[in-house]
Amino acid sequence: MATYRLRGDSWQVQIRRSGHTPISRSFATRNDAEEWARRIESENTQDRPNSQDVNDGPTIGQLLDRYERDITPTKRSCDRERDKIRVIKRHAVSTISAVKLNSEAVARYRDERLQKVKPATVKRELAIIRHCIEIAMREWSLSITINPAIRIRLPRADNARDRRLTEAEYRRLMVALDNSKRWYMKPIVIVALETGMRRGEILSLEAKNVNLLDGIAHLPLTKNGKPRRVPLTQLAIDTLRPLISRPKLFPVSAPSVRQGWLNIANEADLVDFRLHDCRHEAISRFFEMGLSIPEVALISGHQSLAMLHRYTHLRPEKVGLKLRSLTSIQ
């Protein structure tokens, strides 16, 4: 039987069953709490081998608690992973005993989440479940021999983007940046467009790692875990020079930059152009300038040609001009 309580800004639901440990979760709305309770009670009614028994060991939710405490802090994207873990723990799959978890339950989680969020998001959540169980099997003495999260089909996440800036959009963007009250937005956007660096890489820039004389920005830690030395264009050097007196060139938070970009994109009337698309734009421009694949990969830090290709969107018009400028082979 499910009982509901409003505690602060969240609804807490608790399910009690005779002979079993009570299970509870908190949700932002009562509707979410009731939906979760119905799923749990439906599984119990159908007598699925998914509910927790006192002798069944830890649930998936309990394993995720330990994973969040011991493993997540070692990752660069730990804050985002914590958010994803909280989402998983609100789902019925988190109440299932780890030794009773089967591929059907994981597939059901996948299918239910696909109704609410994009495939790429579901893939990342499934990766956490998969890795959590793998760690539990190898290091926490979880007594199962096959990870059920490995056996299911992953959703296909076709989220490649090909958005480029037009010349008119670029001009409007520069005007909006000049008018912005957030001083840091214009140098961040210019550096992104001139170097292809990610937002986090730009925000991590320190004066000791930027050599304006040689035109090199050293990134000690990047997304793939490897350091990178990024060549700077003259515009990037000129943009960073007034900021080099600070130990940290951009002492601002990622949420501040995110909100600043939303305001600027709206002011410049940029439709469906994200800050991260500046990286796509920069890499495409590098190829249009005539740089080779190794040269662009050195700048962008891509480890594979396939991933570099995903970020490259050449304009056919520019390719046509280049072709017409070449001497034809007779």
* Residues 132/144, Cβ–Cβ less than 8 Å: no
> Which two structure tokens, joined as six digits, stand for 285?
């421009």
State yes or no: is 223 an active-site residue: yes
Phi, psi of 37 (to 5 degrees): -60, -40
Q: Is 51 left (phi over 0), alpha (psi -120 to 50) or beta?
A: beta
> Which two structure tokens, joined as six digits, stand for 270?
């940029």
State yes or no: is 130 an active-site residue: no
Counting every residue written for the chain, the total comes to 330
DSSP 24-81: EEEESSHHHHHHHHHHHHHHHHTT-TTS--TTS--BHHHHHHHHHHHTGGGSTTHHHH
Q: How many CA atoms lie within 13 A of 50 on its CB side?
A: 26
Q: Check 186, 228, 279, 285 and give the catalytic one.
A: 279
Q: Check 223, 241, 309, 315 and give the catalytic one.
A: 223
State yes or no: is 161 an active-site residue: no
Q: Check 186, 198, 228, 285 and give the catalytic one.
A: 198
* Residue with the two structure tokens 């304006």: 212
Instruction: Tell me the C-alpha distance between 13 and 36, whole Å.
Output: 9
State yes or no: is 218 an active-site residue: no
Q: Check 39, 118, 276, 313 and give the catalytic one.
A: 276
Instruction: Tell me the C-alpha distance between 219 and 228, whole Å.
Output: 5
State yes or no: is 279 an active-site residue: yes
Q: Check 84, 100, 130, 302 and give the catalytic one.
A: 302
State yes or no: is 4 an active-site residue: no
* Residues 240/231, Cβ–Cβ less than 8 Å: no
- Give which of 44, 52, 60 is closest to 22, Cα–Cα: 52
Q: What residues contact residue 215 under an 8 Å CB cut-off, 6+ apart? A: 231, 232, 233, 234, 237
Q: Which residues are known to be catalytic?
A: 198, 223, 276, 279, 302, 311
